[in-house]
Amino acid sequence: MSSRLATGGRRIDRSKRLSFSFNGTKLTGFEGDTLASALLANGQDLVGRSFKYHRPRGIVAAGAEEPNALVALGQGDRMEPNQRATITELFDGLSARSQNHWPSLQFDIGAINARLSRFLPAGFYYKTFMQPRAAWKHLFEPVIRKSAGLGPAPTQGDPDRYEYFYAHTDVLVAGGGIAGLAAARAAAEAGARVLLVEQDSRFGGRSATDGVVIDGTDAEAWVAEQVAALSAMPNVDLRLRTMAAGVYDHGYVTLYERAGDRDPGAAPVRHRLWRVRAGRTVTATGAIERPISFAGNDRPGVMLASAVRDYIDLYAVSPGDRTVVVTATDDGYRTALAVRDAGLDVPAVLDTRPDPKGPLVDAVRARGIRVEAGRGIAKVRGTRRVTGVDICAQAGEGAVIEHVPCECVAMAGGWSPVVHLWSHCGGKLLWDETAHHFRPDPDRPPTGADGQGFAVTAGTASGPMDTGAALADAVEAGHRAAKALGHDKGAPRIPQADGTADGPPAAVWMMPHGAGPELRGKAFLDFQNDVKVSDVQLAAQEGYQSVEHTKRYTTLGMATDQGKLSNINGLAILSDSLGAPIPEVGTTTFRPPYTPISLGAVAGEARGSLFKPVRRTPIHDWHADAGAVWEPVGDWRRPYCYPKDEESHRDAVNREITATRSGVGLLDASTLGKIIVSGPDAAAFLDLTYTNMMSSLKVGRCRYGLMCTENGFLFDDGVVVRLSEDSFLCHTTSGGSDRVHAWMEEWLQTEWWDLKVWTSNVTEQFGQIAIVGPKARSVLERLGGMDLSAEALPFMAMAEGTLGGIGVRIFRISFSGELSYEIAVPAGRARALWDMLLAEGAADGITPYGTEALHVMRAEKGYIMIGDETDGTVIPQDLNLGWAVSKKKSDFIGKRAMERSALTDPDRKQLVGLETEDPALVLPDGAHAVSGQTNRFGQQETLGHVTSTYWSPTLNRSIAMALVSGGSRRMGETLDFSLEDGRIAKARVVDPVFLDKDGERQNV
């Protein structure tokens, strides 16, 4: 059992005791502990269950690569599943629960899967659960889903805040170990601006634990000195608890800062997502130790050798009284020394190499520790934790030479550089035949827009595991990064590390080398997903030979650690199975983020009211006070109607329409898009973008214009006003202003860059109020200030002046068929004008109306609505708007497309009006007319569909518009519309203009 040692612990402060709970049990730890170290200190070896077989899992690592120790952290709306205990800093009151077991961690029913593991090899689910067909959905899948899934799903919204930071820097250094510090210093001293980030809560990485001595001082002091020096430099910014998450094109890097995780509920911000533009990114991300594949290597108590010495040195945690070290490297001997120095026993160091030698080996031997050369582990004994190991010859098949009791096994399989950041954006890797790892190929870095590499590796992340070489590499990397950006003050000094380099490691991919199927079936590669050596071999045998196939077939490397421990071992096994060299097999793709980051951080502050903020018209508050029912339109909210008291929405709409048509109504039309198009070529430009001729429009006049795509399909409409010879005001639909503006700019910037035209979206600069109805003119005249007679301001004309003392621009245009004025006013004066109009019109019963009344009134007049009568497949001619398509212009967007055969087909769907036989029946939205036949696909043949359908209070009957095949030839025909329940509603095809065909109401 693991426990706390009486002395030591570089990181913990024994004077500050913290209490926390695990699975409801109260435990204590110290300030400086991680949750993992505190759990180990409390003897909690078993921390979770694996994904597939629900095998008992203990802590295996001490850092971000941990695959096993995943806990549900926190409670209620602050619960976070799958948090790695190894990177969770302990705080007072922390509450954690283990995952993926039922009913308890100790006794898990799901562990039956482990008993059946022989029947559940890689991909077994592709070969079974197929009969009977319905059983997959109803039986097998629910069971599989339930037994998978790791942590519990949160059930509530997240009360915490997240934010974005933006930074521009010359050199971003990812990793604050000795290499990162050295690289940062070299870059900073050259004069570059430097941002150094470290995912851990301390700088210095492994250096202190590994006993590194630099420039004659111990690592801890050297690191402190570097941090102090860097902190004092104005061009350097240092950040702890900040991980470089992803590297993207053009040197764009995301950082993930866990700012408030130690202070849940109290911290102002939980996570920060940094978005950095860096001239160069130095990846000083260090290396990760590889486990060794032997039977039972997944048992709690089997740990990475480096983690064992981390827990001893940093947290004064004994991993158990007796630790067997199994190693393919000299580095494993450091663990043996650390264990012995802590006063614990090392029954044996099992070195797979036939002839281990060197200073570390000598030191271990000198301490009287037994070193067994050419040996390995045949099998680990113990179920819920290690009780001992069976020793065998590494070269053999696993015959047991000796049983050695122990509580901990420390695996030292060699070190692999962390190459993720380098690889995210296309940096390539080399296979190092000596160190047996992939390392970045400096000749094939990720490249930026200039074709130059924008990433530089530093330290062990480059490949060299020896401190001296790593430091030299790091200084050179920092210097090179700065120099590439024009900062150079000569070659920097390289700090000198004491000691000699370790000897070469052995490549041990399977222990023992000749292990049979029994042992291979218990030797785990991916601890979380339960992928064993035998699984990878099975994948190769079955033809899943690409490393990506193997990964996907076995789930190797698909766990939450994304293969940080398993990938190299797995692909070495694959390469062996295929008889192909490792570099030929290659790696799977490294995808961001480096370790998982919260979705909250990805979303940032844009949530709730900041998620797509509502655009408000200057009259918004009045609508709210008046009890408007809102309808989202684009990013706006518009009043749908203004129900009074207990009035239904429908009654309110009918009242608003009747009041408008018989008296006067008022509409907030401020959401209409308004784009100023000006310049000497403005008229020519609009002739190209609209289907109409706009150049012939006279100053002060308005024209209804249509815009089509290159394919000839109508996508926006609105009234264009010529303000002066070279400036136009183009109205767009409410939802379309941004799109139309972008569309104009795209054509101007990419196709017609020779035109002298400027566009400006002034939608929000103006309020716009439509006053509509037979009494509209008299209300305005009472306000005074402008001559609004039919002679002075005829239909489709514009006038500027003052109305009731407010400067306005009045357009006499109508979307309802009534006498109507749209009054544009500077946004700041819109509410005043609205109030004035309401007051002045009170005597006439002036009635504000919403979007639904607007829609009904336009439908009564047969006016189209973009998005209802159009759907991206409709050309103006389909809507009887051929008159708005100029035949005189040599070109406009969509002109050529309209000449294509399908667009001139007389059987195209065309807009018609519909009158149901039963005048009370309002056809459903989108209902289809059916012919009673089936089409070539065996579907019911349709003739067309309803595009707009309303109850018309004016006509006291239902009205509808539809797009019907050959519609203009069908006037007077009765069509069958299929209702949802299969019944047929009959409707007669009529002219879509239901009301006032001659326009007498507006022509006054």
Partner 1 sequence: MKKYSVFSLAREALRYHSGWERAWASPDPKAEYDTIIVGAGGHGLATAYYLAKEHGITNVAVLEKGWLGGGNTGRNTTIIRSNYLQPESAAIYEKARGLYEGLSQELNFNIMFSPRGVMMLCQTQHELRAMQRTAHANRLAGIETEMVSPERVKEIVPIIEIDGPRFPVLGGLWQPRGGTARHDAVAWGYARGASARGVDIIQQCAVTGIDRDASGVTGVQTTRGPIRCKKLCIVVAGSSGVLADMAGFRLPVESVALQALVSEPVKPCMDCVVMANTVHGYMSQSDKGEMVIGGGADGFNNYTQRGSFQHLEETVRALIETFPMISRLKMLRHWGGIVDMTGDRSPIIGQTPVPGIFINCGWGTGGFKAIPGSGWATAEMLAKGTPGTLAAPFSLDRFTEGRMIDESVAAAVAH
Which tokens go with 212? 């590194």
C-alpha span between 320 and 89 (Å, rounded): 22
Residues 6+ apart with CB under 8 A from 336: 323, 325, 346, 349, 364, 369, 410
Q: Is 597 in the site for partner 1 (CB under 8 A)?
A: yes
Q: Is 795 in the site for partner 1 (CB under 8 A)?
A: no
- In angstroms, give the least distance from the CB of 25 to partner 1: 22
The residue count for binding partner 1 (CB under 8 A) is: 118
C-alpha span between 281 and 248 (Å, rounded): 11
Residues 455-484 that bind partner 1 (CB under 8 A): none
Residues 405-434 that bind partner 1 (CB under 8 A): 424-426
C-alpha span between 480 and 467 (Å, rounded): 20
Residues 6+ apart with CB under 8 A from 369: 336, 340, 346, 348, 349
Contacting range for partner 1; rule: CB under 8 A; set: 350-358, 630-638, 671-679, 773-781: 630-638
Please identify, using beta-carbon distances, which residue of 102 and 758 lies nearer to partner 1: 102
Residue with tokens 């009242």: 655
Please identify, using beta-carbon distances, which residue of 275 and 650 lies nearer to partner 1: 275
Q: Is 596 in the site for partner 1 (CB under 8 A)?
A: yes
Q: Which of 222, 509, 544, 863 binds partner 1 (CB under 8 A)?
A: 544
Please identify, using beta-carbon distances, which residue of 123 and 785 lies nearer to partner 1: 123
Q: Which of 490, 579, 608, 906 binds partner 1 (CB under 8 A)?
A: 608
Amino acid at 848: P
Q: Is 151 in the site for partner 1 (CB under 8 A)?
A: yes
Work out the burial of residue 753: count CB atoms within 10 Å of its CB; fewer than 13 is exposed, 13-18 middle, 19 or more buried: exposed
Q: How far is CA 536 from CA 121, 288, 290, 521, 679, in A?
A: 10, 22, 17, 10, 68
Please identify, using beta-carbon distances, which residue of 497 and 574 lies nearer to partner 1: 574
Which H or E run contains 72?
Answer: strand 70-73
Q: Which of 8, 43, 149, 966 binds partner 1 (CB under 8 A)?
A: 149
Please identify, using beta-carbon distances, which residue of 387 and 711 lies nearer to partner 1: 711
Q: Which of 1, 5, 111, 150 binds partner 1 (CB under 8 A)?
A: 150
Q: Is 552 in the site for partner 1 (CB under 8 A)?
A: yes
Q: Is 139 in the site for partner 1 (CB under 8 A)?
A: no
CA-CA-CA-CA dihedral for 669, 671, 672, 675, to nearest 10: 130
Please identify, using beta-carbon distances, which residue of 428 and 552 lies nearer to partner 1: 552
In terms of residues, how long is the chain?
1004
Which tokens go with 940? 């019911």
φ and ψ at 72, to 5 degrees?
-85, 115
Q: Could you count the other beta carbons within 10 Å of the beta carbon of residue 68?
A: 27
Q: Is 622 in the site for partner 1 (CB under 8 A)?
A: no
Amino acid at 474: A
- In angstroms, give the least distance from the CB of 145 to partner 1: 5
Q: Is 980 in the site for partner 1 (CB under 8 A)?
A: yes
Please identify, using beta-carbon distances, which residue of 645 and 981 lies nearer to partner 1: 981
Q: Is 296 in the site for partner 1 (CB under 8 A)?
A: no
Which tokens go with 41? 């200190």
Please identify, using beta-carbon distances, which residue of 145 and 888 lies nearer to partner 1: 145
Work out the burial of residue 1000: count CB atoms within 10 Å of its CB; fewer than 13 is exposed, 13-18 middle, 19 or more buried: exposed
Please identify, using beta-carbon distances, which residue of 814 and 870 lies nearer to partner 1: 870
Please identify, using beta-carbon distances, which residue of 606 and 839 lies nearer to partner 1: 606
Q: Is 76 in the site for partner 1 (CB under 8 A)?
A: no
Work out the burial of residue 933: count CB atoms within 10 Å of its CB; fewer than 13 is exposed, 13-18 middle, 19 or more buried: exposed
Please identify, using beta-carbon distances, which residue of 836 and 893 lies nearer to partner 1: 893
Q: Is 517 in the site for partner 1 (CB under 8 A)?
A: yes
Residue 103, preceding bond cis, omega within 30 degrees? Answer: yes
- In angstroms, give the least distance from the CB of 974 to partner 1: 19
- In angstroms, give the least distance from the CB of 893 to partner 1: 14
Contacting range for partner 1; rule: CB under 8 A; set: 36-44, 213-221, 575-583, 597-605: 597-605
Q: Which of 343, 358, 805, 872 binds partner 1 (CB under 8 A)?
A: 872
Q: Is 578 in the site for partner 1 (CB under 8 A)?
A: no
Closest CA to 894 of 910, 907, 881, 906: 881
Quote the Cα angle for 337-339-340, to 5°: 65
Q: Is 145 in the site for partner 1 (CB under 8 A)?
A: yes
Q: Is 115 in the site for partner 1 (CB under 8 A)?
A: no
Pairing of strands 429-432, 415-417: unpaired
- In angstroms, give the least distance from the CB of 849 to partner 1: 16
315 alpha-carbon distance from chain centroid: 36
Contacting range for partner 1; rule: CB under 8 A; set: 107-115, 157-165, 835-843, 882-890: 157-165
Closest CA to 304 of 210, 412, 229, 232: 412
- In angstroms, give the least distance from the CB of 649 to partner 1: 12
- In angstroms, give the least distance from the CB of 411 to partner 1: 25
Q: Which of 148, 624, 790, 839 binds partner 1 (CB under 8 A)?
A: 148
Q: Is 534 in the site for partner 1 (CB under 8 A)?
A: yes
Pairing of strands 371-373, 349-351: parallel
Question: Packing angle between helix 305-315 and helix 331-341, nearest 10 degrees?
Answer: 40
Q: Is 583 in the site for partner 1 (CB under 8 A)?
A: no
Q: Is 263 in the site for partner 1 (CB under 8 A)?
A: no
Q: Could you count the other beta carbons within 10 Å of the beta carbon of residue 982?
A: 6
Q: Is 698 in the site for partner 1 (CB under 8 A)?
A: no
Quote the Cα angle for 21-25-26, to 5°: 55
- In angstroms, give the least distance from the CB of 866 to partner 1: 10
Residues 642-681 that bind partner 1 (CB under 8 A): none
Given a contact cutoff of 8 angstroms between Cβ atoms, the answer to whether 824 and 731 are in contact is no
- In angstroms, give the least distance from the CB of 609 to partner 1: 7
987 alpha-carbon distance from chain centroid: 49
- In angstroms, give the least distance from the CB of 637 to partner 1: 9
Q: Which of 68, 82, 569, 732 binds partner 1 (CB under 8 A)?
A: 82
- In angstroms, give the least distance from the CB of 980 to partner 1: 7
C-alpha span between 461 and 561 (Å, rounded): 18
Given a contact cutoff of 8 angstroms between Cβ atoms, the answer to whether 285 and 418 are in contact is yes
Question: Packing angle between helix 682-689 and helix 737-750, nearest 10 degrees?
Answer: 110
Which H or E run contains 412?
Answer: strand 408-412
Q: Which of 103, 228, 612, 890 binds partner 1 (CB under 8 A)?
A: 612
Residues 219-248 that bind partner 1 (CB under 8 A): 246, 248
Closest CA to 55 of 100, 94, 12: 100
Residues 918-977 that bind partner 1 (CB under 8 A): 924-928, 930, 935-940, 942, 945-946
Please identify, using beta-carbon distances, which residue of 15 and 933 lies nearer to partner 1: 933
